[in-house]
Amino acid sequence: MNVLITGGTGSLGKALASKLVERSDVSKVMIFSRDELKQHDMRDMFRGCAKLRWMLGDVRDLDRVKRAFHGVDYVIHAAALKQVPAAEYNPFEFVKTNVLGSQNVVEAAIDCGVRRVIALSTDKASSPINLYGATKLCADKLFIDGNNYCDKTTRMAVVRYGNVIGSRGSVIPVFKALVDGGAHLLPVTSMDMTRFWISLGEAADFVLECLLNKMTGGETFIPKIPSGKMSDLVKAFGLGHYELGLRPGEKMHEEMIPEHLGMQTVDHGDCYAIEPSWYVSKNTKSAMGRGFSYNSQTNENWLSVDDFKRIIEEV
C-alpha cells in the first residue's frame, strides 16, 4: 500500500514515517509539505530509504493535492497551522490552511479514490474558544461529514489527542532550553492549568491503529491518556517560576469530548470514539450517556512529579 502524509516534515510526520517504512505491507511513503528546507533535513535523516518520496506542495492548492493523491491508498492529514497566538493575529491564514486546505484534502481524496483518510485534530477543537480551535473543529466536521459525499471507495475519520511530549512547540523542550541557558525561573501561564499528555511514539501508534484497523468512517477517535498539572511539571524541573497569565484564546483546562457529545461517544477500551450522528442511533446502548465528558481536570489518570521527571530525561 502507498501512504501519503500531508505536513509530513513535522514531529509527528517523522515519527509516522519511521514506523511506516518498517512495515512490509507499505510500498511507498510520500511526504507532502511546503517547506523545501525541512524536506532536505528529513531526507538526511532517512538517507538511503527507498520507500520515501518527497513532494513539495501546499494543501491550499487543490490541483497540486489532487496530483499528489494519484495512486495513494491511505492519507494521514497532519498539515495545519497550530500556534494559538499566531491564529488570533493572523485569522485569515489559519482559515486558508486549516479549513480550506482540509476541504481540498477531502475533495482530492474522493476524486482520486483514496481508500482511507485520517485527519489529525486537537483538544482545542472541543468547545473551542480560540480561532485555532475553531478552524480545527470546522476541519473535523469536513472530514466526518465528508463521508456523505463518498461512495464505498473512500472513508474518512479523525484522531484527536492532547499535547504531544517533545513535539515542536511543546512546553517541556522549551523549559529544557531555558534551563540549559541558565534560567532560574520558568515562565508559566498558570500553575493551576492542566493538560492531556501523550508521547510522540504513542501518538503515532494510535494514528496508525485507527487508520489501518479501527476506522469505518465518520468517527473521532480519542485515546485514553493521562492528565498533568503545570504545578507538577514545574516541580519536576526543580526551579522557581513566575506567572504570565492566560494568553488570548487559552483555556485553563482542556477537554477532548464535550458533554453534549456523550450520547454519541462509545468506549473502545483503549480509546473513546465519537460516532457521527447518522449512525449513532444504532449504538445508544453502548454510548457513554448524557453528561459524559473527557476533560483534563476531571480525568482519573494523572502524571506524578516523578513521571514528569522521567519524561524530562527522555525528551
- Alpha helix locations (H) across 189-277? 200-209, 230-237
Q: What is the DSSP string of 5-61?
A: EETTTSHHHHHHHHHHTT-TT--EEEEEES-HHHHHHHHHHTTT-TTEEEEE--TT-
Q: How is the chain split into domains, by residue range? A: 2-162+197-223
Closest C-alpha to 205, from 271, 256, 144, 137: 271
Distance CA 6, CA 32 (A): 5
pLDDT in tens, 1-27: 999 999 999 999 999 999 999 999 999
Write out the three cell numbers for 57: 506542495
**Residues noted as catalytic:** 124
Write out the three cell numbers for 275: 460516532
- For 102, 196, 288, 291, the CA distances from 76, given in Å and listed in that order, are 11, 22, 28, 32
Output the CATH code of domain 2-162+197-223.
3.40.50.720
| Contact (CB, 8 A) for 120 and 76 | yes
pTM exceeds 0.85 for this model: yes
CA 235 to chain centre: 27
Residues 6 or more apart whose Cβ sits within 8 Å of residue 212: 74
**pLDDT attached to residue 170:** 81
- For 19, 73, 207, 209, 268, the CA distances from 214, given in Å and listed in that order, are 18, 16, 10, 6, 10
| Contact (CB, 8 A) for 240 and 122 | no
One pLDDT digit (tens) per residue for the chain, 315 residues: 999 999 999 999 999 999 999 999 999 999 999 999 999 999 999 998 999 999 999 999 999 999 999 999 999 999 999 988 899 999 999 999 999 999 999 999 999 999 999 999 999 999 999 999 999 999 999 999 999 998 889 999 999 998 888 777 688 988 999 999 999 899 999 999 999 999 999 999 999 999 999 999 999 999 999 999 999 999 999 999 999 988 877 889 999 999 989 989 999 999 999 999 877 555 555 678 788 999 999 999 999 999 999 999 887
